[in-house]
Structure 1
Amino acid sequence: MPCTLFIADLHLSSGRPDITAAFLRFMREDAVHADALYVLGDLFEFSIGDDEPSELNRQVASAFHACSERGTPVYFIHGNRDFMVGRRFARQAGMTLLPEQRVVDLYGRPALIMHGDTLCIDDAGYQRYRRITRWPWLQWLFLRLPLRFRLNIADGIRGKSARSKQDKMMQVMDVNQAEVARQLRLNEVDLLIHGHTHRPGIHDLSIDGRPARRIVLGDWYTQGSVLSVSPQGVELQSRAFKEQP
C-alpha cells in the first residue's frame, strides 16, 4: 500500500543507543518501502555543525542515504535542537533540506508541514531565543569556534532549556490555537502536520466554518512515533523499543 511517513523529535544522542537502534530499524524495515519520508525536526538532541566527527552522525547519514538510494526520497525540516544541520550533512545523507514551512501534496490533499515551534507564540522567551539563534552571522561565528567550545555551549543550552521547562506552564509551551488557524488560512490548506510539543494526537478543527485537522507527531523517548499517510487516510503509529541484551 502506498504511504508517506513522517517522524520528528527523536532527539538522537550517544547517551540513548536504544533510540538510535529503533531509528535504524525503522529506516531498514519501514522507510525504504514508503513513497517519501519527512523528518520534521529535532532528529538530534543537539547539532553543533556538520563537521562533528561522531559515529552517530555517520550512522544516521548512512541510513538516510541507503533509504534514498533505494528510491525513497528523504526530506528534512530543522527543529529547535538541530537547526545547525547543514548542506554537507544533507549531501552525505542524500536528503533534501526544506524551509521551515512547506505545503506538500499528500495523495491529492495539500498539507502544511513544519517543526511546530513557531506555533508556540505564547512562549515569548523561547521565541526571542529562536530569533537570535537563527541570525546567519551568529551561526557563522559559532561554526568557526573549536569543536570542544561548541560542545560546551550545547551542554549549557541543554541544561538551561531543561530548567526553563520546569518553570513554565504547560499551556505556554503548547501551540497557540489562533496561530494554528492563521497559518491554515495563510497557506490555504485544511491539514497541518507538526511535531515539537511531544503531544501526539489528531485534532479536528473548524476554521471559518470549514473542517480542518491538526496532526501532532510524538517523540521517541519511550517508543517510536510515526505518522503514516496513505490515500486511505492517516494513522499515528508507535514502534516499541526492543530490549537491549
Structure 2
Amino acid sequence: MGDLFEYWVGDDDIGDPYHQTICDALLACYHAGIRIYWMHGNRDFLVGSAFADRCGLQLLPDHQILQTGKNSLLLTHGDAECTGDLPYMAFRQQVRQPQWQQQFLSQPLEKRREIARQMRQQSQQKQANAMALGDVDDAAIRTLVEKHGAQIMIHGHTHRPAMHQYAEFSRYVLPDWDCDHAASPRGGWLALLSDGSLQAYDVHGAATQLPLHPHAA
C-alpha cells in the first residue's frame, strides 16, 4: 500500500543496490507463487510498469475495493485524505500532474535523486518541528467510504497503527516498517482470514490487536 521506498525517482533507478535488493525479494515471492499487488504511496508515486514487470507485481489504483463475504473492504494509501494539510495537498496535486511527472522524469537520474533527497530532508525537518504528524480528515474519510459503500477501510501513510470504530464502518491504519534498529524494530500487517475477519500481526509475525483509537467515533 505504498511507501516501500523513501523515494522513487523513476523506474530507471531500479539498478540502485538497495532498490535491487527489494526487487529481488519481491520477485522471489512471485516465483514462490505469491500474487503481489502494489498501491502507490506519496513517496513512491512514480513507480511504473517497468518496475512492476521487473518485480512480478500488479499495480492497483489508489482506491481499491475488495469483496469478502458480506463486507466490502476499501484500500487506499491515505495521503489524499489528509485534507487539513493544505500545503501538502497543493504539493500532491502538482506532482500527480502528468505534465509535471514528464518534465521531472526527463531530467538526468542523478539530478532527480538530488531533488528527491532535498525534498525528503525538508519533509523530515517539518515532521521533527511539528507537534504531531498530520492525520486523515474524518469528513474526507466518511465521504470516501460512503462513495464506495464500504464497511471496512484500510490505509497506511500516517504511521499511527490503530482501529477506529465508526457507527457505519471500521477503519484500520497500518504501521510503517523500520527494521534497521535491532533494539526496537517496528512493522506489521493485516491478514484477511477465510471467515472474512481481519487479524493483525506485529513485526515478529505474532498475532496482536491494533489499539482502538481513543477518539474513534
TM-score (normalised: structure 1): 0.76
Aligned residue pair count: 197
1:159 maps to amino acid: Q
Q: Secondary structure at the match of 1:206?
A: coil
CA offset at residue 224 of structure 1? 2.3
Other-structure match for 2:123:
161
Residue-by-residue CA offset, 1:100-133 (whole Å, 9 max, x unaligned): 1111123553211010101111011111100001
Gaps in structure 2 of 5+ consecutive residues: 179-184, 206-217
1:134 maps to amino acid: R
| Higher relative contact order, chain-length normalized (CA < 8 Å, sep 6+) | 1
Q: Secondary structure at the match of 1:196?
A: coil
1:195 and 2:156 are equivalent in the alignment: yes
Other-structure match for 2:203:
239
CA offset at residue 169 of structure 1? 4.6
Q: Cα RMSD over matched residues? A: 1.7
- 2: CA distance between counterparts of 1:111 and 1:158? 31
2:188 maps to amino acid: S
Other-structure match for 1:63:
25
**Moved >3 Å (runs of 4+):** 166-169
CA offset at residue 219 of structure 1? 0.8
Other-structure match for 2:11:
50
- 2: CA distance between counterparts of 1:107 and 1:65? 30
Identity of aligned residues (%): 34
Other-structure match for 1:127:
89
TM-score (normalised: structure 2): 0.85
- 1: CA distance between counterparts of 2:42 and 2:162? 20
- For the 8 Å contact 1:107–1:230, the answer to whether it is kept is no
Other-structure match for 1:229:
192
Q: Secondary structure at the match of 1:51?
A: helix
- 2: CA distance between counterparts of 1:169 and 1:135? 31
Other-structure match for 2:55:
93
- Equivalent residue for 1:106, pick from 44, 58, 68: 68
2:172 maps to amino acid: I
2:45 maps to amino acid: F
- 1: CA distance between counterparts of 2:187 and 2:137? 26
CA offset at residue 55 of structure 1? 1.7
1:217 and 2:178 are equivalent in the alignment: no
Other-structure match for 1:175:
136
CA offset at residue 41 of structure 1? 0.6
1:116 and 2:78 are equivalent in the alignment: yes
- 2: CA distance between counterparts of 1:69 and 1:107? 29
1:82 and 2:44 are equivalent in the alignment: yes
Gaps in structure 1 of 5+ consecutive residues: 1-39
- 2: CA distance between counterparts of 1:107 and 1:165? 40
CA offset at residue 154 of structure 1? 0.6
CA offset at residue 43 of structure 1? 0.6
Residue-by-residue CA offset, 1:120-153 (whole Å, 9 max, x unaligned): 1101111110000111111111112111101110
